[in-house]
Amino acid sequence: MSVSPYEEIHLGLSNAAICGMRRHLFCAKSIIRKPLFCKHPPCFFPLKSVDFWLMLERLIHKSLHRPVATLVIFFAIVTAGAYAALNLPLEILPSVEFPRLFVQTAWPGASPVAVEAYVTSVIEGEISGVKGVSKIRSESRQGFSRIEVELQRDVDVNYLRFAIQERLSFLQDRLPPQALPPRIIKYVPEEIKTTRFMSYHVVGPYNDARLRQIALRQIRPTLTGVAGVAGVEVIGGRDRQIRIVFDEDRLKAFRLLPGDLRRALAEANLTLSAGSFIDASGRVAVAVRQTLHTLHDIETLPLRLVDHRLIRLRDVAAVVDTLSPPYSLQRINGQSTILIEIEKEPGANTIAVADRVYQAVAALERRLPEGIRLLKEDDQSLVIRENLRDLFFRALFGFLVIFLVLTLFLRRLRYAAIVQASIVISVLFTLLLMFLFRFSLNIITLAGLALGFGILVDNAIVVLENIHRRVTAAEPSASLDAGIVSATREVVLPLIASTLTTLAALLPFLYLTDELRIYYLPFAITVSLALLASLCVAFFLIPAVAYRWYRRRGIAPSSAVGSPSTATSPGGTRLERLYRAVLGKALARPWLVALITVWCFGLPVWLLPDALEVDPEASFLRRQVSHLYNTVMGSPVMSEVRPYLNHLLGGSLYLFYRYVDRGELWRWGEDTRVVVSIDLPSGTDIRETDRIAALMERTVLGEEGVAQVRTRVTANFAHMEVRFTRAAQFSVIPFLIKERLITRAARTGNAAISVVGYGPGFSSGHGGMTMNNRLVLSGYNYRDMERYAEGLKRRLEQFRRVRNVRTDLTRHFWGKTTFETTLQLHRERLGWYGLTVGDVVWQTRPYLSQYLYRQRLRLGWEEVPYAVVSRRYDDFHLYQLGQLPIRNPNGEEVRLGNLGQFTYRRVQPVIERENQQYYKVIAFDYLAPYRFTKQFIESFLQTTEVPPGYALKKQTLWWWQSQKARNITTVLIIALLLMYMVLAGLYESFTYPVLIFLIIPLSLIGVFLAYYLTDTLFNQAAYIGVIFLMGIVLNNGIILLDRVNQLKWRGEFGSFRELLVTAGSERLRPILMTTVTTIAGLLPLLLLADKYDPDDIWYTLSLSTIGGLTAATLLGLIVLPTLVLLLERIRARFHRTASSAPV
pLDDT band at 1005 (very low <50, low <70, confident <90, very high): very high
Task: Identify the three-state secondary structure at position 1045.
Answer: helix
> Per-residue pLDDT averaged across 1000-1022, rounded?
85
Query: Lowest mean pLDDT: which of 30-44, 487-501, 755-769?
Result: 30-44
> Per-residue pLDDT averaged across 95-113, rounded?
80
For residue 357, pLDDT beyond 90: yes
What is the predicted pLDDT for the residue at 325? 74
Angstrom distance (rounded) from CA 1104 to CA 1025 = 5
> Any idea of the CA torsion for 1010, 1013, 1019, 1021, to the nearest 10 degrees?
-30
- Are β-strands 862-870 and 240-246 bridged in parallel, bridged antiparallel, or unpaired? parallel
CATH no. of 673-758 = 3.30.70.1430
Residue 374: which of 211, 194, 221, 228 has the closest Cα? 211
Residue 1071: which of 401, 399, 506, 409 has the closest Cα? 409
> Per-residue pLDDT averaged across 353-372, rounded?
90
1056-1066 and 1020-1050 are packed helices; what angle lies between their axes, rounded to 10 degrees? 120
For residue 243, pLDDT beyond 50: yes
Query: Lowest mean pLDDT: which of 137-141, 358-362, 568-572, 1132-1136?
Result: 568-572
pLDDT band at 5 (very low <50, low <70, confident <90, very high): very low
pLDDT band at 516 (very low <50, low <70, confident <90, very high): low
Specify the CATH number for 5-90+411-594+962-1139; select among 1.20.1640.10, 1.20.1090.10, 1.10.3720.10, 3.40.50.300: 1.20.1640.10
> Per-residue pLDDT averaged across 128-145, rounded?
86
For residue 470, pLDDT beyond 80: no
Angstrom distance (rounded) from CA 882 to CA 223 = 52
- For residues 459 and 466, the answer to whether their CB atoms sit within 8 Å is no
For residue 19, pLDDT beyond 60: no
Which carries the bigger pLDDT value, residue 316 or residue 912? 316
Q: How many other C-beta atoms can be found within 10 angstroms of the C-beta atom of residue 547?
A: 23
CATH 2.40.160, applies to 773-814+914-956? no
CATH 3.30.70.1430, applies to 99-187? yes
> Which residues have CB under 8 Å from 338's CB, separation 6+?
201, 202, 208, 211, 212, 215, 234, 235, 236, 237, 330
Angstrom distance (rounded) from CA 549 to CA 418 = 10
Task: Identify the three-state secondary structure at position 743.
Answer: helix
What is the predicted pLDDT for the residue at 1092? 57
What is the predicted pLDDT for the residue at 741? 92
Q: Is the model's pTM score more than 0.85?
A: no
What is the predicted pLDDT for the residue at 682? 65
Q: How many other C-beta atoms can be found within 10 angstroms of the C-beta atom of residue 285?
A: 9
For residue 968, pLDDT beyond 80: no
Question: H/E element holding 79?
Answer: helix 67-87
What is the predicted pLDDT for the residue at 27? 36
What is the tens place of the pLDDT at every residue in 902-942? 877 666 677 888 877 888 888 888 876 666 777 888 889 88
Query: Lowest mean pLDDT: which of 5-19, 230-244, 1064-1078?
Result: 5-19
Query: Lowest mean pLDDT: which of 43-52, 224-233, 647-656?
Result: 43-52
Query: Lowest mean pLDDT: which of 116-120, 523-527, 612-616, 1109-1113?
Result: 612-616
Three-state SS letters, 1063-1102: HHHHCHHHHHHHHHHHHHHHHHHHHCCCCCCCCCCHHHHH
> Per-residue pLDDT averaged across 580-584, rounded?
90
> Which residues have CB under 8 Å from 799's CB, separation 6+?
936
Q: Which of 278-287, 860-869, 1000-1009 is the most confident on average?
A: 1000-1009
What is the tens place of the pLDDT at every residue in 648-684? 888 898 888 888 876 544 443 356 788 898 888 766 7
What mean pLDDT value characterizes the chain? 77
What is the tens place of the pLDDT at every residue in 423-443? 788 888 888 888 888 777 776
Domain extents in the chain = 5-90+411-594+962-1139, 99-187, 603-659, 673-758, 773-814+914-956
Task: Kindly tell me the sign of the dihedral angle through the C-alpha atoms of 687, 693, 699, 705.
Answer: negative
What is the predicted pLDDT for the residue at 746? 84
Torsion-angle region of 61 (φ positive above 0: left; ψ -120 to 50: alpha; else: beta): alpha
What is the tens place of the pLDDT at every residue in 583-614? 989 999 989 998 999 999 988 887 787 777 77
Query: Lowest mean pLDDT: which of 107-121, 507-521, 1093-1107?
Result: 507-521
> Per-residue pLDDT averaged across 863-877, rounded?
79
> Per-residue pLDDT averaged across 98-115, rounded?
83
Residue 524: which of 78, 971, 967, 99 has the closest Cα? 971
> Which residues have CB under 8 Å from 1008's CB, separation 6+?
602, 652, 653, 655, 656, 660
What is the predicted pLDDT for the residue at 219? 92
Angstrom distance (rounded) from CA 837 to CA 189 = 44
> Per-residue pLDDT averaged across 963-968, rounded?
56
The reply to whether 673-758 shares the fold of 99-187 is: yes
Angstrom distance (rounded) from CA 1061 to CA 587 = 9
- For residues 184 and 101, the answer to whether their CB atoms sit within 8 Å is yes
pLDDT above 90 covers what percent of the chain? 6
For residue 835, pLDDT beyond 90: no
For residue 1141, pLDDT beyond 80: no
